[in-house]
Structure 1
Amino acid sequence: MAHPDSYFLWLPLPEEVRADRIAAALLKERISLSTAEPFATSVHVPHALRLALGSLPLPTLRQALEVVSRVIQLHSYL
């Protein structure tokens, strides 16, 4: 979910996956992103990750997104 002109993307997560664990696992892969918690404007925190997309060359971004996908899939089965 994102505005078409935005450099950020909200990535909804499966309910069984914890955003903080995904963020920690990705940091070990040298991928830094944010959970939705710091951006929540109410008590309801979206179950999602916030990804910045604008500062990487496309091949690097593609590789990073593949790692994000792999880590989320791995944590879906834990």
Structure 2
Amino acid sequence: MSSPFAHKHYSRGYYDGWEEGKFEGKASFLLYVLGRRAVPLSDADRERIATCTDPALMSIWAQRCISITSAEELFAEGRPVG
């Protein structure tokens, strides 16, 4: 049987890995949609999307990717969502 200390840290590692996987999946899908829509992205744009860990920002980008035509529109602050 493991100690409470070991259980706590194992659980935390599992949760962190699960969260990281969720963001990777969202980023991958977002890049897929943008690619299918032929929205031009620089390597820096792709990296910004791939490394994002803010769920609210990912949600905004997911909503925007349906209608935008440029990375500038995707990342624009203050731009209405949708």
How would you bin the TM-score normalised by the shorter chain? 0.3 to 0.5
The structure whose residues are more often strand, as a share, is 1
* TM-score (ref. length: structure 2): 0.33
* TM-score (ref. length: structure 1): 0.34
Which structure has more RCO (C-alpha within 8 Å, separation ≥ 6)? 1
The structure whose residues are more often helix, as a share, is 2
